[in-house]
Amino acid sequence: MRRREFITLLGGAAAAWPLAARAQQPERMRRIGVFAGQSAQNKERLDAFRKGLEALGWVEGRNIHVDYRYDTNPAEAAELLALAPEVILSIPPGLRPLQQAGRTVPIVFVLALEPVAEGFVASLARPGGNMTGFAGWDPVNATKHLQLLKDIAPNINRVLSSIIP
């Protein structure tokens, strides 16, 4: 290799070096908190949550870190908030301790029976504050649920609904 070719090659490598160095940087690790009572149902729900995150490209240990707290008392809520997660997933009965511990971290709840009546959100349409989520059963959305079911399985003729506490 002649000197001129070597300098050109070295110059090209030096120009590409910042790009290569940037490409090798690991993704920023995101932090999620999970505040849920320890039960068989919640274990299944959290397994589904993990699978959903993975389907979207979020994998524990690679680009997200998940802090789990299964004892839903005020001390555990404060400890979880002190870890400064970017968002917290809460499955009842964990909402009240989280609400009392702090109002800065976004909290997404699932299966809250009456989030408006319990004072977690101002309304389902406009929750306000740092909490939002899904009610366990919202009669206003019943027709939407049925339509979604009909879209998924058009041959369904009957639907049985039950709310199991």
Angle at 160 between CA 155 and CA 165, to 5 degrees: 140
CA distances from 113 to 34, 40, 122, 140 (A): 19, 19, 14, 14
Q: Which of the four pLDDT bands, split at 50, 70 and 90, describes residue 90?
A: very high
Residue 23 has pLDDT above 60, yes or no: no
Q: Which of the four pLDDT bands, split at 50, 70 and 90, describes residue 89?
A: very high
Residue 77 lies in a domain: yes
The CATH number given to whatever domain includes residue 83 is 3.40.50.2300
Does a cis peptide bond (omega within 30 degrees of 0) precede residue 93?
Answer: yes
Return the higher-pLDDT residue of 101 and 65: 65
Q: Which of the four pLDDT bands, split at 50, 70 and 90, describes residue 22?
A: low
Is 36 in contact with 42 (CB distance < 8 Å)? yes
Residue 61 lies in a domain: yes
Give every CB contact of residue 73 below 8 A, 6+ residues apart in sequence: 97
For residue range 36-79, what is the model confidence (pLDDT) as tens digits?
988 888 888 889 999 999 999 999 999 999 999 998 899 999 99
Residue 46 lies in a domain: yes
Residue 56 lies in a domain: yes
Residue 161 lies in a domain: no
Residue 21 lies in a domain: no
For the chain, the average pLDDT equals: 79
Residue 101 has pLDDT above 70, yes or no: yes
Return the higher-pLDDT residue of 30 and 3: 30
Residue 93 lies in a domain: yes
Residue 106 lies in a domain: yes
Predicted pLDDT at 82: 93
Question: Domain of 101?
Answer: 30-142
Give every CB contact of residue 118 below 8 A, 6+ residues apart in sequence: 95, 96, 112
Tally of domains within the chain:
1
**In which element (H, E) is residue 109 found?**
strand 107-112
For residue 101, the tally of other CB atoms under 10 A from its CB is 18
